[in-house]
Structure 1
Amino acid sequence: VIHVKMIVNDSIFNLTNATQEIAKEEVIPLPGTTSGVNALGLVVFSMCFGLIIGNMKEQGQALRDFFDSLNEAIMRLVTII
């Protein structure tokens, strides 16, 4: 991050004073404050979600059918690309 501060004092026809100050700051991110995807959390959630749906038997059949159809649609898109 670079901050540029310029102070200019001038009259109507004459530039009398110009000062330029440049300061450089280094930003060090703290753990837990960076933005990004929590890949490990996503993988663990997906595995737990799949295990729970798999154990739901008849109640989870609609979700299993949905994800099977979604998987088939994604695979067809991948073959096109």
Structure 2
Amino acid sequence: MTITTLSSRELNQDIGRAKKAAKDGPVFITDRGRPAHVLLSIEDYRRLSGGRRSLVDALSMPGLADIDFDPAPARIGLRPADLG
């Protein structure tokens, strides 16, 4: 993995270079010499963010049967509607 650093000015002058560099690793974008942003490929972003999981995937995770879950009953107060 290659890490590239570009200033905001360099990014504005050659966005194609930044996009190409992001294929090989993160591109740090500096503002006044300090890191301000990171450009990632979509694959790297999905890997870091864990991607999207479906509800079925989340509920079928290993070890969920070992978790105690005993929520308190929900109490919903109902009152007659005022139609007057």
TM-score using structure 2 length? 0.27
TM-score using structure 1 length? 0.27
Tell me which of the two structures has the higher relative contact order, counting C-alpha pairs closer than 8 angstroms and 6 or more residues apart: 2
Going by fraction, where is strand more abundant, 1 or 2?
Answer: 1
Going by fraction, where is helix more abundant, 1 or 2?
Answer: 1
Could you say which structure has the larger radius of gyration?
A: 1
